[in-house]
Chains A and B, each alone.
Chain A
């Protein structure tokens, strides 16, 4: 609420918004909008040396909501429940400035752990109705034995009052009904915690018109989250077919075989939603493409970190400089700064020994190895020192 007011940054913002409405023409309104934004920024810089007034007032506002990240929306933890012994569901009530979501989307969740902000992305696992009726959403997290975020969340969930959440993101959402032919059907494949966005989609369908089959792959039934709810839905809804694959007993799912065995089913007349570990999603989409399924009909969402190697092949670092993307070959153990310079880039630098912090820049994704400490970073967005970081996986870096 407070943040929402602050974003408005006095009446300046309102003035240019009015001008925007009056002008009507897009090119003019765009110019005025940019001009207004830059004016707000300059005003805030002048007054408090911060790009936004909310950054300046954040320490005061944090008094009532400790641990809330200034860039994100705060969300009150309403309740939590263990779905299985490894999966924790958390019910959140976001502040009113949070814009809502489309089932299947994910968001970045940030919490304060030992003084620092750590983030991880999760799919929303609740229905659209829960948000429209009760202003709540649910995220369901598989607790990773080595995961800093999920471990901290599991340990602190009973006492944590808030989490910070980003806007909902991603295009792993159901294709609008208007775009699907009447005889088509939907095939979903979920592996492990990959069920979360799919369960959000399924539980949000209000009017069933197409047959849906869900292949839910788990080690054993005890590890299948939302199984009771899914069974209830399949009993109630004749168009929904639940296929539980317990890989411990039956081995891996042979998707193409299973689909060919189905009566009244054509692989070409279906939309596919695959969600699970990167390896699995890639495998099934390749299989389907070989069967002649159009790429546009295959929707995937990747879960989990790609397996990272400490040595061996050269990694690709995509460096984004003022909007231009340059691919840099980063060998294991070579500082990214050096790799970038060999490629003809000239990022900001200073001491080159990790002291002066001039080369700090934003890593958007991928893991880096800190050459000074030997620590391996997380996979999410964070600031890194280029001169003492080496690629540990493929990377995206904003210079």
Chain B
């Protein structure tokens, strides 16, 4: 490790200052923004579902409906759901936007998400053996993992995972807890019983399936097949988009990994250091950032997970300057370039060996 404890504690205090600068000023602007997002999401969901039924006039209306429903699901999952569940808007004291009460339009139960994502992934980011989000137990993305035969076709696994991403996310905790298959890991502390996990998984999943593939097709009458296909397509577009955004934030070429020994009893400064090295950003126009839920600024998100996401863009230059000052690599590039390195990484580690990515 190149930074001394002294430097790390200075790094922590500088980043804390950046955070305080934003958090002390939260008010009308952020509240208006997220409420406008909520309104956009509601309007596009409702109009999308109506337009799909009007597809009998011209298929173009159906296509527009699918696009609007996909947009609604993307906004619900990314800019609203993901960020609200991080507690970014808890200060508003609004029951519709509170992390403790929020539930989203995705197969994954919000409680399960908070345990695996907010706690496991954000606390132990990229620590091999602790952060199961690094490869999701399916993909070999660094040479920290032993090569297995199944890694040979992991690019296909990746494509399937992307298409069914919401189910992967939903099953993630049950896989970690070995609810159905495998032997339980001795060091894993579970706070929720297996029966509760199963109840949440099947309950939420069934509700989502019933809504999109039974209820709405049924009330669409003769247009049932169009609506069913449209819902399937909208869900798939959302799956591919969320998966791509997340992969571009975590599995680009220069993302580093850590060992458990490196992080034992780590300081706040080292946690920050690990977050910068464990994530990557990509650039694009304003609307593009909004569609990613501002996870295009994954580094800022990992440093300040409870800061309202619209501020990530404004603090990014400060974070970049601080990273440069301490000589920490700040991984940013265009969306296409970052995605190309993701694909390259998945393919490279399909084969034995590969460069070490350890920080």
Question: Distance in Å from the Cβ of B220 to the closest Cβ of chain A?
Answer: 14
B140 interface contact, C-beta 8 A: no
Task: Write out the residue numbers on chain B whose beta carbons fall within 8 Å of the beta carbon of A115.
Answer: 26-32, 92
A45 interface contact, C-beta 8 A: yes
Task: Write out the residue numbers on chain B whose beta carbons fall within 8 Å of the beta carbon of A63.
Answer: 39
> Are the CB atoms of B91 and A360 closer together than 8 Å?
no
Contact A360 B100, CB 8 Å, known A62-B35, A115-B27: yes
B115 interface contact, C-beta 8 A: yes
A228 interface contact, C-beta 8 A: no
Query: On chain B, which size bracket covers the interface?
Result: 35 or more
Contact A50 B29, CB 8 Å, known A350-B115, A357-B114, A360-B90: no
A60 interface contact, C-beta 8 A: yes
Bound-complex Cα distance A382 to B90 (A): 10
Docked complex: B285-336 residues within 8 A CB-CB of A:
305-306
B119 interface contact, C-beta 8 A: yes
Bound-complex Cα distance A117 to B104 (A): 22
A206 interface contact, C-beta 8 A: no
Contact mask B1-33 → A, CB, 8 Å, 1/0?
000000000000000000000000011111110
> Are the CB atoms of B115 and A358 closer together than 8 Å?
yes
In the complex formed, the residue of A with least CB distance to B36 is: A59
Task: Write out the residue numbers on chain A whose beta carbons fall within 8 Å of the beta carbon of B85.
Answer: 357
Task: Write out the residue numbers on chain A whose beta carbons fall within 8 Å of the beta carbon of B86.
Answer: 357
Contact mask A63-93 → B, CB, 8 Å, 1/0?
1000001110000000000000000000000
8 Å CB contact of A357 from B28, B95, B99, B210: B99
> Are the CB atoms of A56 and B42 closer together than 8 Å?
yes
Query: On chain A, which size bracket covers the interface?
Result: 35 or more
Task: Write out the residue numbers on chain B whose beta carbons fall within 8 Å of the beta carbon of A355.
Answer: 118, 122-123, 305-306
> Are the CB atoms of B215 and A383 closer together than 8 Å?
no
Contact mask B201-215 → A, CB, 8 Å, 1/0?
000000100110001
Docked complex: B27-52 residues within 8 A CB-CB of A:
27-32, 35, 38-39, 42-43
Question: Distance in Å from the Cβ of A335 to the closest Cβ of chain B?
Answer: 17
Task: Write out the residue numbers on chain B whose beta carbons fall within 8 Å of the beta carbon of A60.
Answer: 39, 42-43
- Residue of A47, A361, A382 contacting most chain B CB atoms (<10 Å): A47
Question: Distance in Å from the Cβ of B85 to the closest Cβ of chain A?
Answer: 8
Task: Write out the residue numbers on chain B whose beta carbons fall within 8 Å of the beta carbon of A112.
Answer: 31
Bound-complex Cα distance A56 to B45 (A): 11
Contact mask B39-72 → A, CB, 8 Å, 1/0?
1001100000000000000000000000000000
B98 interface contact, C-beta 8 A: yes
8 Å CB contact of B96 from A58, A354, A382, A385: A58
Task: Write out the residue numbers on chain B whose beta carbons fall within 8 Å of the beta carbon of A358.
Answer: 114-115, 118-119
> Are the CB atoms of B42 and A57 closer together than 8 Å?
yes
> Are the CB atoms of B119 and A59 closer together than 8 Å?
no
> Are the CB atoms of A70 and B119 closer together than 8 Å?
no
In the complex formed, the residue of A with least CB distance to B92 is: A116
Task: Write out the residue numbers on chain A whose beta carbons fall within 8 Å of the beta carbon of B173.
Answer: none
A232 interface contact, C-beta 8 A: no
Task: Write out the residue numbers on chain A whose beta carbons fall within 8 Å of the beta carbon of B191.
Answer: 348-349
B193 interface contact, C-beta 8 A: no
Bound-complex Cα distance A254 to B31 (A): 51
B87 interface contact, C-beta 8 A: yes
> Are the CB atoms of A116 and B104 closer together than 8 Å?
no
Binding site for B on A (CB under 8 A): 42, 45-47, 49-50, 55-60, 62-63, 69-71, 112, 114-118, 348-351, 354-358, 360-361, 382-383, 385
Knowing that A117-B94, A349-B191, A357-B85 are A-B contacts, what are 12 other residue pairs whose CB atoms are under 8 Å apart, sorted by A's residue number?
A: A49-B103, A49-B105, A50-B96, A57-B42, A70-B94, A70-B95, A115-B92, A116-B91, A116-B94, A357-B86, A357-B90, A383-B93
A-B residue pairs, 4 tightest by C-beta: A115-B31, A357-B87, A114-B27, A350-B119
Could you name 6 residue pairs across A and B whose Cβ atoms are closer than 8 Å? A49-B103, A49-B104, A49-B105, A117-B94, A356-B119, A383-B98
